[in-house]
Structure formats: structure tokens, C-alpha cells
Structure 1
């Protein structure tokens, strides 16, 4: 027998306690918008849930840390919960690690339409409309695990459409063991659909707003439509105000367009077109093929300031949050063969790079600086293999630029 069609919103990972990151400087004209961006994105989710054709709201974790977000963040949630309660719209909330139910103050009770699921067991709740059950929602708040424990979600078999809400990483093989129609997942800040994880769909809807260059691209929430035959359709809705973009550039591209500034300018115009008029926070990752191609980039500090001056003040703005110039792996053989300080330096750098020594000990360089804390000194004394190569590459680039009489092209990032 066919059921009833319905629609709900799936959102997660608001992190109302966390500001935008990867910013070493904030332009005056964007300061207020940057400060308010996470709240504006969260408000967009709730405003969408208040629309008449939305039956209920699903929240899959990490909305806020009450202590860190303070009254301002809690008031946003409670105000919208009350508005949804006035429209008799249920809210189903599975807590993650930031919004542990034990952190929620007893002095701020949740309205009756909000179900905050317990941590110790999964609970199944029927959702009714006009006296008829349209689906069953199953949820369990996180116990602090990094992975979702699917076996704990077992419920009695039902013919109703089932929505399971969970927090934590998982894969298709684990999720499909639950045999649910829709998995509303949280704990990942970028959108991801897990193919084969559920009868209808298994979705990490991501955060309504990105917070760093590690969270590039569109952010928002999901609207889920279920028809009378229990066919599921998921629609992604963007609500971010600022959008992080990580852009890689190499020496060949620079040469092809006649200069680094031409190339970066063209990329910015394209990004602004692709991202629909939003403010952009851009991280540039620039690679050079050899020491000789460094001149194509010039002074990276001047390049950073030029980008911010030319493109960071517009409406919308394209603000450069980070500019990284990757050191070349090879320098001209003629430089290496020189009977000069530069030649000696390059040969010494190459020797260190090929060394089989266990680590790179930088602690002797701190001996003349008594103000350096012991924690810092201990970190310098044992550099990890992963960081060792990068440090050597950066040190070689710095030495080459100084010995050749130019300004060093250092990494500039927040």
C-alpha cells in the first residue's frame, strides 16, 4: 500500500562556537560580515525549515559547544526551536562531540517539539501528520566515538520509511547493515554521499558554512523529498556567505599567460563567476619547476599585498587568505657547480637531503635565544620525517634567494 509523500531538511555541524579560520588579516569592510557568516548560514537552515512544505528538521551533530558559543549561540538555537514549535514542526537532534547532551544547561530547557536523542541507546520515534504515521526516525547521540556504531541502531522491522540519524565516520558496508531508507549523517564538514549505504541515500550534508581552506567549495544543507512510493531525492542547498577556494598554479601556466599577475587575475574572475557572487577566501599554492623560474613570481610578499589590494576590496570580495610558493626540487646545475658560497650552500643542502640521519636537529640554533620555551626546543630537537623535507626545501630556497641578492620567496599563510 502506498504511503504518503513528505519532505524534511537534514543539516549538521553548525559549530556556532567557531569563527572563520585561516585568516592572518581581516579587511575592515569585511569584518562584520565575517563575524556573522556562521550565524547567517545557520539561520538560513532554520528559515528554510519554517516553510510550510517542510514536515520536520533533522540535525546530525555538532551544532555548538554551549560553553564556547555562550548565550548568543544558544539563544539562536532556542529562538528557532520555539518558532518551529509554534508551527508544530518536530526537530530531531543527534548530538556529536561538541554538543554533548551533558553540556546543555538545565536552565535552558528545550521546547517539546525537540527530541535530543540519548547517548546510551538508539530510540525510534514515529512522525505523524494529520493522525497518520509518515515515517520513523531512529537516532542515538554520539558517545565520543570517531566512528558510527551501526549495530546499536537495530530496531524492530517496519514497513514505514525509516530515517536514521548518526554522527561519526562510516562506510557503505557498515551503513547498509542498518537497512534504513535514509542515513542522515554528521561529523564531516564537507558534503559527501555514501553510495550503497542505504535504500534511498546515505548523506553527510556537511556544515552550513566552511571554516578553513581545508573545507573548500559549497556548503549548506540538504532537502530530502520522499514520494508515496518511498523514492528518495536529495537536493543540496547552498547557504554559505564566504566560500573557501584552494587553487594550485604551476610554472607552465604562468608562462602561458605572460606572467603571474595575469594568471591569478584570470583565475579570480573565473572563481567569482563559478561561485555565484559570494565573497571568496582564496588559498594559492604556487609551484615552480626550477630555481630559474623563481623570477616569474618575484617577491611573494609584494604579490600577496597586490592581490589583497586589487581584488580584496570589491563587492563581492576575493580575499587572499594564503599564498604559498613551493620551493623547487632542483636548481640549475651551473649554480651547484659554482666555486662560490652559493655553490657550497647548494651542495651542502643536497647532502642533507640525501642523508640517512634519523632526523633534523634544529635545537643548536636555539641556544643563543634563552627566551625560547622548552616545549619549542624539544620539538625542534626531533623533526618528523614528513616535516624534515619541507623544512630543508624552504631553508634552501631562503638561502638561494639571499645569496643571489634577491628577496626570499617564503611561504605566506595564516
Structure 2
């Protein structure tokens, strides 16, 4: 027998207590907007849930840590919960690690339309519209496990469409054992669909606002449409105010457009177009040529200052939060064979590289100044084996640039 069509929103991982990350400083002109970005993204979810054609809201954990988010964060949730209550819209909340129900203050009761699922068992609740059940929602707050415990969701079979709300990692096989129509999952800040995890869909909807370069790309929530034949359609809605982007460049990219600054400018224009004119937080990963040419980008700090100054103050902004230059492993043989300081330097660097930097000893350099603390001296002197190669490559590139005159933005060919 056909059921009723309905629509709901699935959101998770607001983390209202956590600011934007991967920032070495807060640019003054973006400070207020950055501070408000997580709240604005979360507010966009609630504003969408207040629309008349949304039947209920599902929240899959880690909305906020009450003590860390403080009254400001809690007030946002409570205000919107009250607005949803006034419109008779149910809210189903499975708590994660950050929003453990035990951390919610007893003196701050939740409105009656909000179901905060318990930690010790799964609870199934029918959702009604005009006196008729349109679906069931079953959920359980996490008991602290990082893995979702699907067996605890077992309930008596029902003919109603069932939405399961859970927090924690799970694969398709584990989720499929629940035999639910839709898994509303939380705990992963990046959106992911688990193929085969449910009859309709199994979705980690991700956080409404990314917080780091590890969370690059679009962020938002899901609108789920279920028709009378139980066909499920999921629509991803973007809410992020700032979007983290990773950009990799190599010598071929830079040579093609005539210099590092040209290619960075072109990529920023393209990113603004691709991401709908949002404010961008960019991490650049630049690989210097390792064949018979050497790309000299100059002082990376100066390049960072330039790209921030040139593109970080517009509207929308493209702020560079990270710029990493990966040095080459091989330099032109003619440079190494030179009877010059540069040649001596490259031969010494090559010797250290063949030994994987095992003979590097920075201790004598720490003794040349009294300004270095004992802790800093220890860190400099005891370079870990995993960091030696990177340290040697970066030091070699710096030395080459200085000995060749530090000319920025040139491709040197032999």
C-alpha cells in the first residue's frame, strides 16, 4: 500500500564551539566574519527547516560542546528549537562525543518537540502528520564508541519508512544489517555517501562549515525527499561561509602562464567561479621542478605576503592560509660541477642526502647565540629521522636561491 510523501532535513557536526582552523593569524578585515561563520552556517540549516514543506529535522551529533560553546552557542540551538516547536516541527537529535547528553545543563530543558535520544538504548518514534504516521525515526546517542553499533538498533519489523539516526564510523556491510530505509549519520565532517548501506541512502552529511584544509570543498546539509512509493532522493545544500581549498602547482603549471604569480591569480579567479563567489581559504602546495630546470619562486614569505595583499582583501576574499614550497631533489649538473661556492654547497648537500641526513648535526649552531633557550636548542639539535630529508631539501633550496641572487619568479634553464 502506498505511503505518504514527506521531506526532512538531515544535518550534523555543527561544532559551534570550534573556530575556523589552519590560520596563523586572523586578518582584521575578516575577523568578525570568520568568528560568525560556524553560527551562520548552522543558522542556515534551521532557517531551511522552518520552511513549510519540511516535516521534521534530524541532527546526527556533535552540535556543540555546551561548556566550550557557552551561552552564545546554546542560545542559538534553543532559539531555533523554540521556533520549530511553534511550527509543530519535530527535531530528532542523536548526540555524539562533543554534545554528550550528560554535558547538557539540567537547568536548561529542551522544548517538547526535541527528542534527544538516550545513550543506553535505541528508541523508535513515529512521525505523524494530520493524524497519520508518515515514517518512523529510530536513534541512539553514542555511548562513547568511535564505531556505530548497528546491532543495538534492532527493532520489531514495520511497514513504515524508517530513518535511523546514528553517530560514528561504519561501513556499508554493517549499516546494511540494520535494513533501514535511510541512515542519517554523523561524526564525519566531510560529506560521504555509503553505497549499499540502506534501502534508500546512507549519508554522512558533513559539517555545515569546514574548519581546516583537511575539510576542503563544499559543506552543508541534506534535504531528503521520500515519495509515496518510498523512493528516496537526497539533495545536498551548501551553507559554508568560508570554503577551504587545496591547490597543487608544479613547474609545468607555472611555465604555461609565465610565472608563479600569474598562475596563482588565474587559479583564484577559477576557484571563485567554481565555488559560487564564496570567501576562500586556500592552501597552496607548490612543487619546484626536479628535471633539468629549476623554478625559483623567491622568498616564500614575500610570496605569501603578496598573494594575501593582492587577493585577500576583495569581496569575496581569497585568503591564503598556507603556502608550502616543495624543493627539488635534483639540481642541474652544471651547477653542481661549478668551482664556486654554489658548487661546493650543492656537493655538500648531495653528500648529506645520500646519507638521508643521518650525519646532520645542528647542535654547534645553537651554541652561537645566547638567545636560544635550552628547549629550542634541543629541538634543533635532535631532528627526527622523518624530518631530516625535508629539512635538508628546504635548506638546500634556500641556499641555492641566496647563492644565485635570490631572483624571484624565474624559471632557470641550463
TM-score (norm 2): 0.91
Residue 378 of structure 1 deviates from its aligned partner by: 6.5
Residue 302 of structure 1 deviates from its aligned partner by: 2.4
Does the CA contact (< 8 Å) of 1:17 and 1:65 recur in 2? yes
Local SS of the residue matching 1:54: coil
Q: 1:250 to 1:112 in 2, by over 3 A?
A: same
Residue 407 of structure 1 deviates from its aligned partner by: 7.6
Q: 1:327 to 1:123 in 2, by over 3 A?
A: same
TM-score (norm 1): 0.91
Q: 1:293 to 1:99 in 2, by over 3 A?
A: farther
Match of 1:146 in 2: 146
Match of 1:327 in 2: 327
Residue 335 of structure 1 deviates from its aligned partner by: 2.4
Deviations 1:215-271, CA, capped at 9 Å, x for gaps: 111111000001111110000001111111111111111111112222111111111
1:298-337 → structure 2 map (5 Å cutoff): 298-337=298-337
Q: Which moved more, 1:269-278 or 1:375-384?
A: 375-384
Does the CA contact (< 8 Å) of 2:251 and 2:295 recur in 1? no
Deviations 1:127-162, CA, capped at 9 Å, x for gaps: 111221111111111122222121221111111111
Deviations 1:101-146, CA, capped at 9 Å, x for gaps: 1111111111111111111221111111122111111111112222
Aligned: 1:158 with 2:158: yes
Residue 296 of structure 1 deviates from its aligned partner by: 4.6
Match of 1:113 in 2: 113
Local SS of the residue matching 1:214: helix
Q: Which moved more, 1:317-326 or 1:233-242?
A: 317-326
Match of 2:412 in 1: none
Residue 347 of structure 1 deviates from its aligned partner by: 3.1
Does the CA contact (< 8 Å) of 2:57 and 2:91 recur in 1? yes
In structure 2, how many angstroms separate the alpha carbons of the residues matched to 1:140 and 1:380?
Answer: 51
Residue 353 of structure 1 deviates from its aligned partner by: 2.9
Aligned: 1:272 with 2:272: yes
Q: 1:152 to 1:359 in 2, by over 3 A?
A: farther
In structure 1, how many angstroms separate the alpha carbons of the residues matched to 2:310 and 2:287?
Answer: 22
Does the CA contact (< 8 Å) of 2:194 and 2:203 recur in 1? yes
Match of 1:288 in 2: 288
Aligned length, in residue pairs: 408
Residue 371 of structure 1 deviates from its aligned partner by: 5.5
Q: 1:54 to 1:402 in 2, by over 3 A?
A: same
In structure 2, how many angstroms separate the alpha carbons of the residues matched to 1:55 and 1:360?
Answer: 65
In structure 1, how many angstroms separate the alpha carbons of the residues matched to 2:381 and 2:10?
Answer: 45
Q: 1:116 to 1:271 in 2, by over 3 A?
A: same
* Structure 2: unaligned runs, 5 residues or longer: 410-414
Q: 1:237 to 1:205 in 2, by over 3 A?
A: same
Does the CA contact (< 8 Å) of 2:296 and 2:408 recur in 1? no
In structure 1, how many angstroms separate the alpha carbons of the residues matched to 2:37 and 2:191?
Answer: 19
Match of 2:234 in 1: 234
* Structure 1: unaligned runs, 5 residues or longer: 410-414
Does the CA contact (< 8 Å) of 2:366 and 2:377 recur in 1? no
In structure 1, how many angstroms separate the alpha carbons of the residues matched to 2:308 and 2:356?
Answer: 42
Q: 1:65 to 1:290 in 2, by over 3 A?
A: same
Residue 389 of structure 1 deviates from its aligned partner by: 2.6
1:337-376 → structure 2 map (5 Å cutoff): 337-355=337-355, 366=366, 372=373, 374=375
In structure 2, how many angstroms separate the alpha carbons of the residues matched to 1:145 and 1:341?
Answer: 59
Q: 1:101 to 1:382 in 2, by over 3 A?
A: farther
Local SS of the residue matching 1:254: helix
1:67-86 → structure 2 map (5 Å cutoff): 67-86=67-86
Does the CA contact (< 8 Å) of 1:288 and 1:294 recur in 2? yes
1:10-409 → structure 2 map (5 Å cutoff): 10-290=10-290, 293-355=293-355, 366=366, 372=373, 374=375, 377=378, 381=382, 383-385=384-386, 387-406=387-406
